[in-house]
Chains A and B, each alone.
Chain A
Amino acid sequence: MRALILVGGFGTRLRPLTLSRPKPLVEFCNKAVLLHQLEALREAGVSHVVLAVSYMSEALEAAMREQEQRLGIRISLSHEKEPLGTAGPLALARDLLAEGGEPFFVLNSDVICEFPFAALARFHRRHSGEGSLVVTRVEEPAKYGVVVSEADTGRICRFVEKPRVFVSNKINAGLYIFNPGILQRIQLRPTSIEKEIFPAMAQEGQLYAMELQGFWMDIGQPKDFLTGMCMYLQALRAQHPEKLHSGPGVVGNVLVDPSAKIGVNCVIGPNVTIGAGVVVEDGVRIKRCTVLEGARIRSHSWLESCIVGWSCSVGQWVRMENVTVLGEDVIVNDELYLNGANVLPHKSIAESVPEPRIIM
């Protein structure tokens, strides 16, 4: 089987991290987002994945060469010269997708969940429609595309993008499977699959919804990235508790790369991910954070709800909170207070940021 991953855009909402790496290569719980998706696809029998990209494609290409061997699947890049939206890329990759004659998966690169690809394929084969999409229940559906479907068959009646009044609490989770025939509906121009293709398919009764079990998150912005991390770690606790870290000073779900070093008198967790080669010095308290590869957190600092970028150095007695995001190679001087600071790569911070702002 084949799959298309919509990587597309600039990842502006996940800046400053995406200024250093393409978004799919940002590590989520110590593994590149894209890798979470590729591994899940391979497990469901996918042998060829097409990445629809437009930004930093060279970095992505190089990383994918490495993964091809390791995963044993073929990875192609479909490069958009101009942004094609969420449907246009399918047209661009038409030949690669239609080749096998089988249904193919499509997914947004921002989605993290308990990927149900095998179940989705089975669900799709049981009905006669052209496409199936995964839906999930959320508390605030107005931020997303909302789906109204028949309870017994799952056939979608209506598809409403970002509704202003409550319609349903089931939203489009960004995971699809389509018959190759759908490609005839899509032209090679900027097209929105949610606004232009799906409503028509739903009217014709060709679109079906399968409800997702388990957690789901769109991790395209830092706040949601951290919430998604909490959900993922919770699922990990249920399914593979041996992968989580334990020991003195560890509270709740904590994931630590084996090459990381943690000092004495620290309290780490709940909901913390520590990347490869990270050094956490003595007396540090970390809650609800992702610390990316190579960073150093110096002694007696206190971090909550932060993302610390690759190779950063956070000084002693620093307090960081409220979705502070440090880009790559940022240095934070001792004794500072960062509240909701968004710091671009390679900056040195010498003054506190008591109220949220972007530091260039």
Chain B
Amino acid sequence: MPLKAVILIGGPQKGTRFRPLSFEVPKPLFPVAGVPMVQHHVEACAKVPGMKEILLLGFYQPHEALGRFLVSAQQELRIPIRYLQEYAALGTAGGIYHFRDQILSGGAEAFFVLNADVCSEFPLQEMLEFQQRHGDVDSFVILGTTANRTQALNYGCIVANADTQEVQHYVEKPSTFVSEIINCGIYLFTPAIFQHIGEVFQRNQQELVLEESSNGWQRAEVIRLEQDVFTALAGSGKLYVYKTDGFWSQIKSAGSAIYASRLYLNQYSKSHPERLAQNKPGGPVIRGNVYIHPTASIDSTAVLGPNVSIGEGVTVGAGVRVRESIVLHGASLHDHTCVLNTIVGWDSTIGRWARVEGTPSDPNPNDPYAKIDSETLFRDGRLTPSITILGCSVTIPAEVVILNSIVLPHKELSRSYKNQIILLSLPCKSGCLQLPGRSWPVSEAGELRTCLSCVCTLPCRSRL
């Protein structure tokens, strides 16, 4: 059966919680377990028999890194991969609706839609077989997984018939408990989906005509799969859920990138054993799962792992300890440094004997259904302890300690810091870490304000 896959990669205004890392590279290209985030999606799609083409869909402007990724992925996997750029953020359904002809071209009988910011085992073949067993040829499948009762409220919740797995009810981020089965952001559609999306589009247009003033940013073409399509399809006999116990996590923040790395590195022992570093005479000590780029230079007395990714051209000096961290390309760790629960930005330098440490935000290990928390940057006016992030080209001097802090790009530090965001001025109250500029509000008397770009993405509220 001819298949397609669409990966929703979003755009610059989305994924604000991934700053400052997303200042340098679009979030979907951020390396997780040594390769760009979406490469895991692309590899999983390419493995499904019958996959004809993979489409990346988003509203990023053409970007050099994105172009390079597409070229190398196509070469390696030998399958057409293209980027479709939305003219505006059209929502998770609006984009695929806009490009429906391209998606269905070549006679695709079904297509997967995957959110780029999830980490998963991608049981795509199983979803396909499930769809063929249940429902009719025009039915759709949502990949679901189990969450605990409290955390389920942060996701799309699915109530399904226990025998048929038909979705009877769907609510996105309810305020009261609905179901522990949550939406993984991975779907299998047939061409019939566009008819349903089209109906939503018509309704939107009619509503806008009725409304006198338009807010400008509310368009008829902005259609969300979750709130607008699934809630309507629930109970219609067209929507089904395929439940998986395989690993799954959202990747919203830097902390979750480290957690996702661990999940993928774990999977490498079966899927890509060549990506895992081994203990070798004359090589560094490797504990657990570690990815080391072939061009990285690691001293033999370094001890790496578990859950460490070392990027291209990184140098790791004598007696260095790295654990639960991502070291991005070009970074340099001098002798005797200790790097724990940290993302070290591109081309950053950490001086001798420095300690750079964050606090992991892992889900509760005692709860098999616990998911990583979507942490808020601040709680009660204080910075919540979290993964330490060093932006691009940060210099950490020798012998200092950097604890639970976020250092914005190009800073050269001169002392220790704990529990701080080191940047040029106060951050946005919603924690988006917007840099100063035209969209930055003047803050009076040190009071935190919400920056204008966050105001735009939040439900309409009075301007500050």
Contact call B403/A300, Cβ cutoff below 8 A: no
- A302 contacts chain B at the CB level, 8 A cutoff: yes
From residue 312 to 360 of chain A, which have CB atoms closer than 8 A to chain B? 316-317, 319, 321, 335, 337, 339, 352, 354
Given A265-B319, A283-B319, A300-B319: A337 in contact with B355 (beta carbons within 8 A) = yes
Instruction: Give the CA-CA distance A302 to B318 in the complex, in Å.
Output: 15
Given known contacts A265-B319, A337-B403, A300 and B338 CB-to-CB distance under 8 angstroms? yes
Q: How large is the interface on B (under 10, 10 to 19, 20 to 34, 35 or more residues)?
A: 10 to 19
Cβ-defined contact, A282 with B353, below 8 A: no
Our pick among B318, B323, B355 for the contact of A265 (Cβ within 8 Å) is B318
A271 within 8 A of B: no
Select one of A265, A304, A317 contacting B321, CB under 8 A. Answer: A317
Do residues B335 and A317 form an inter-chain contact, with CB atoms below 8 A? no
* Given contact pairs A283-B335, A337-B403, A354-B403, A302 touches B319 in the complex (Cβ within 8 A): no
Least CB distance, A314 to chain B, in whole angstroms: 13
In chain B, what residue has the closest Cβ to A281?
B319
A319 to B355, CA, bound (A): 8
- A285 lies within 8 A of chain B by Cβ: yes
Pairwise interchain contact A335-B323, C-beta atoms closer than 8 A: yes
Does chain B have a CB within 8 A of A78? no
Is B418 part of the contact surface with A, judged by Cβ < 8 Å?
yes
- Taking CB atoms and an 8 Å cut-off, the chain A residues in 286-322 that contact chain B are 299-300, 302, 304, 316-317, 319, 321
Enumerate chain A residues within 8 angstroms of B357, measured Cβ to Cβ. 337, 352
CB distance from B357 to the nearest CB of A (A): 7
**How close is B382's CB to chain A, nearest CB, in angstroms?**
13
Interface size bracket, A side: 10 to 19
A282–B301 Cα gap in the complex (Å)?
Answer: 11
As a 0/1 sequence over residues 342 to 372 of chain B, the CB contacts with chain A under 8 angstroms (1 = contact) are: 0000000000110101000000000000000
Enumerate chain B residues within 8 angstroms of A316, measured Cβ to Cβ. Answer: 321
Q: Are A283's CB and B318's CB within 8 A? A: yes
Task: Give the most central of B320, B335, B336: most A CB within 10 Å.
Answer: B336
- Residue contact A285 to B353, C-beta cutoff 8 Å: yes
Contacts of B314 in A (CB 8 A): none
Judge if B340 is at the interface, Cβ distance under 8 Å. Answer: yes
Complex contact B335–A335 (CB within 8 A): no
B residues 366-395 touching A (CB-CB < 8 Å)? none
Residues of B within 8 A of A285 (CB): 336, 352-353, 399
CB proximity of A28 to chain B, nearest CB, Å: 26
User: Which residue of chain B lies nearest to A321 when distances are taken between CB atoms in the complex?
Assistant: B401
The residues in B between 412 and 440 inclusive whose CB is less than 8 angstroms from any CB of A are: 418
Q: Find out whether the CB atom of B321 lies under 8 angstroms from the CB atom of A302.
A: no
Report the minimum CB–CB distance from A270 to chain B (whole Å): 13
Check if B335 sits within 8 Å of A302, measured CB to CB: no
Select one of A302, A321, A335 contacting B340, CB under 8 A: A335
Asked whether, in the complex, the Cβ of B401 is within 8 Å of the Cβ of A319, the reply is yes
Residue of A302, A321, A335 contacting most chain B CB atoms (<10 Å): A302
Whether A302 and B323, one on each chain, are in contact in the complex, defined by CB atoms closer than 8 angstroms, is no
Q: Are A302 and B403 in contact (CB under 8 A)?
A: no
A319 / chain B contacts, CB cutoff of 8 Å = 338, 355, 401
Contact (A299, B319) CB under 8 Å given A285-B399, A337-B357, A337-B403: yes
Within 8 A of A (CB), among B298-340: 318-321, 323, 335-336, 338, 340
Q: Are A335 and B319 interface neighbours, CB within 8 A? A: no
| Interface residues of A, dominant DSSP | loop
Q: Could you say which of B318, B336, B401 contacts A337, with CB atoms under 8 Å apart?
A: B401
Output the least CB separation between A315 and chain B (Å). Answer: 11
A354: B residues at CB distance < 8 A: 403, 418
Tell me the chain A residues, 38-55 only, with Cβ under 8 Å from chain B.
Answer: none
Are A300 and B321 closer than 8 Å at their CB atoms? yes
CA distance A354 to B405 in the complex (A): 13
Q: Which of A300, A304, A319, A321 has the most CB of B within 10 A?
A: A300
Contacts of A299 in B (CB 8 A): 319
Instruction: Determine the distance from Cα of A323 to Cα of B126 in the docked complex, in whole angstroms.
Output: 59
For window 52-104 of B, CB contacts with A under 8 Å fall at none
The CA of A285 and the CA of B401, in the complex, are separated in Å by 14
Q: A302-B355, A319-B401, A337-B357 are in contact. Are A283 and B323 (CB under 8 A)?
A: no
Q: How far is the CB of A311 from chain B (nearest CB, A)?
A: 25
* B338 to chain A: closest residue by CB: A317
Which B residues are in CB contact (< 8 Å) with A352? 357
Kindly state the separation between the CA atoms of A314 and B27 in the bound complex, as whole angstroms.
Answer: 41
Q: A283-B319, A316-B321, A317-B321 are in contact. Are A265 and B403 (CB under 8 A)?
A: no
Determine the chain B residues whose CB is within 8 A of the CB of A304 once the complex forms. 399
**Which residues from A are CB-within-8-Å of B338?**
300, 317, 319, 335
- Given A283-B319, A337-B403, answer yes or no on A302-B418 (Cβ-Cβ < 8 Å): no
**Does B336 contact A283, Cβ atoms closer than 8 Å?**
yes
B355: chain A residues within 8 A (beta carbon)? 302, 319, 337
Residues of the A chain whose Cβ atoms lie less than 8 Å from the Cβ of B418: 354
Q: Once the chains are docked, how many angstroms separate the CA of A352 from the CA of B335?
A: 22
Given A319-B401, A354-B403 in contact, is the A300-B336 Cβ separation under 8 Å?
A: yes
Closest B residue by C-beta to A319: B355
B339 to chain A, nearest CB (A): 10
Nearest CB of B to A263, in Å: 11
Instruction: Give A319 to B319 CA distance when docked, in angstroms.
Output: 14
**Distance to closest chain B CB from A268 (angstroms):** 13
| Residues of A close to B340: CB separation below 8 A | 335
Q: How far is the CA of A335 from the CA of B325 in the complex (A)?
A: 14
Cβ contact within 8 Å between B318 and A335: no
- The residues of A that contact B401 with a CB separation of less than 8 Å are 319, 321, 337, 339
Chain A nearest CB: distance from B363 CB in Å? 20
Q: Which residue of B lies closest to A352 (CB)?
A: B357
In the bound assembly, the distance between CA atoms of A283 and B321 in angstroms comes to 12
Q: In the bound complex, do residue A335 and residue B399 qualify as a contact, i.e. CB atoms below 8 Å apart? A: no
CB distance from A333 to the nearest CB of B (A): 13
A285 to B355, CA, bound (A): 13
Chain B residues with CB under 8 A of A265: 318-319, 335
The distance from the CB of A201 to the nearest CB of chain B, in whole angstroms, is: 50
Collect the chain B residues with CB atoms within 8 Å of residue A339's CB: 401
In angstroms, Cα B319 to Cα A337, docked, is 17
Shortest beta-carbon distance, B87 to chain A, in Å? 49
Jot down 18 A-B pairs with beta carbons below 8 A, ordered by A: A265-B318, A283-B318, A283-B335, A283-B336, A285-B336, A285-B352, A285-B353, A300-B319, A300-B353, A302-B336, A304-B399, A317-B321, A317-B336, A335-B321, A335-B338, A335-B340, A339-B401, A352-B357
Kindly list the 6 A-B residue pairs having the minimum CB-CB distance in the complex, ordered from nearest: A283-B319, A300-B319, A317-B338, A300-B336, A317-B321, A302-B353
Given contact pairs A265-B318, A282-B319, A335-B340, enumerate 18 new A-B contacts (beta carbons under 8 Å).
Answer: A265-B335, A283-B318, A283-B335, A283-B336, A285-B336, A285-B353, A300-B320, A300-B336, A300-B338, A302-B336, A302-B353, A317-B321, A317-B336, A317-B338, A335-B323, A337-B355, A337-B403, A354-B403
